[in-house]
Structure 1
């Protein structure tokens, strides 16, 4: 039987040569990993070397800015939005009470008053916060209408002399209709409340006509910001605080009691 020594010697020699080349292969793999890294580099503008350190609400992300403008400038006067944090804090203090500027974080404070029409939504907008806040306000309005006295309906004459069943717990059912709640939470009624707190001075949006804000839908924009603040408070401070703000700052001025 032939000896297997020469074959084993050849395999051992080949394995030792491959082990000697492993450091070089490892160095190549490390270099390639750095070259094809998927991490997003921080873009620094020449005019604003510290732009990457500013929060998103304060600037448009660099990767979302077009190199040139494709549409003509709109006609009419230029509509300027608020960029002063102190003015925004004053609005939150008027609406949320003392230390109201500390209830929300800085990022959320600006997000709650940013409409999707501002800067094409590139800095974020308050649609999702307003969706949550609208549900909270709607629930609290239903509870207020359920517990408030309603006008008694005119009884219908029954030919058989039957009388409808009555109970004190059913007296407020007439206020749970969509018509009753929609009439209370109409944007025409919510907009003056938002203006009372100064939301019209700090809400960031882009009207279609800067010379006619009413036809551009300022009432709907202000009511959206009002709902968004309630939704933001619910996420950061809890439902109990959001319900109290909803009752005291929105529904009570509308004439609803609990």
Structure 2
């Protein structure tokens, strides 16, 4: 009987030891509850400080997307200073020069700002134009190819072995693409020249890696992709027919000069 009592006492004490942490669990849950209450206070303050009138999404970065400190600190503090355009009238003037007044006014403001925003601006927290640029690049490649195919015939180099290539009326235009290709027709240099003529560098939103060396920071690539993005924005808003017409009349005609 003594052995049985000892076993019963040991089992009872072990059960009490297991049951004892329940008090700690209650205290931990209370602490967690208090912490959750304290974390909601800044959100309430933020909501109270937000004005009743909604600002456009392109004009600010949401407070919830801002970190309390910067993870990457530049070696030279002067490189972190870069100002971009915030004037909608200035942006509209650029769109009117590139697309015309009627089409420029038909684009929504949010889409206008998105098309000129590079992913380097504000760490991409206000949206960026990468997808629009990919879409517009395909449209420009298509229209450029059609322009090359509709152009005059080109003279091919003579075959060094005196052979006569196969010729057919349905395939003769294809030979033009062996001499002039779309990426040669719409080169980054020509597209960036068009962008500078319509005033795009003054309104594009991006953050150069070296503000004192824009060429080394890739300004030509940024301007070219922004032109692509504007084409993609027009097609997204008004359809392929309108976008193709704008590309033919406003962009390809300039590149053919």
- The offset of 1:181, in angstroms, is 1.9
Query: Relative to 1, partners in 2 of residues 1:193 and 1:235: Cα closer, same or farther, differing over 3 Å?
Result: same
Alpha carbons 1:103, 1:233 under 8 Å: kept: no
TM-score (norm. length: structure 1): 0.75
| Distance in 1 separating the partners of 2:44 and 2:152 | 61
* CA offset digits 1:110-158 (Å, max 9, x no partner): 0000000000100000011111100000011111111112431133265
Query: Relative to 1, partners in 2 of residues 1:119 and 1:178: Cα closer, same or farther, differing over 3 Å?
Result: farther
* CA offset digits 1:201-240 (Å, max 9, x no partner): 1000000000011110011101111011111110111111
Alpha carbons 1:141, 1:181 under 8 Å: kept: yes
Residue 174 of structure 1: aligned partner: 175
Alpha carbons 2:118, 2:205 under 8 Å: kept: yes
1:138 lines up with 2:128 in the alignment: no
Secondary structure of the 1:80 match is coil
- The offset of 1:43, in angstroms, is 7.0
Q: CA RMSD in A?
A: 2.8
TM-score (norm. length: structure 2): 0.75
1:76 lines up with 2:78 in the alignment: yes
Alpha carbons 2:140, 2:228 under 8 Å: kept: yes
Identify, as 1 or 2, the structure richer in helix: 2
| Distance in 1 separating the partners of 2:98 and 2:244 | 14
Secondary structure of the 1:71 match is coil
Is 194-203 or 148-157 further displaced after alignment?
A: 148-157
- The offset of 1:166, in angstroms, is 2.9
1:149 lines up with 2:152 in the alignment: yes
Specify every segment of 5 or more residues in structure 2 that has no aligned partner in the other structure, as ranges: 1-42
Query: Relative to 1, partners in 2 of residues 1:150 and 1:209: Cα closer, same or farther, differing over 3 Å?
Result: farther
- The offset of 1:63, in angstroms, is 1.0
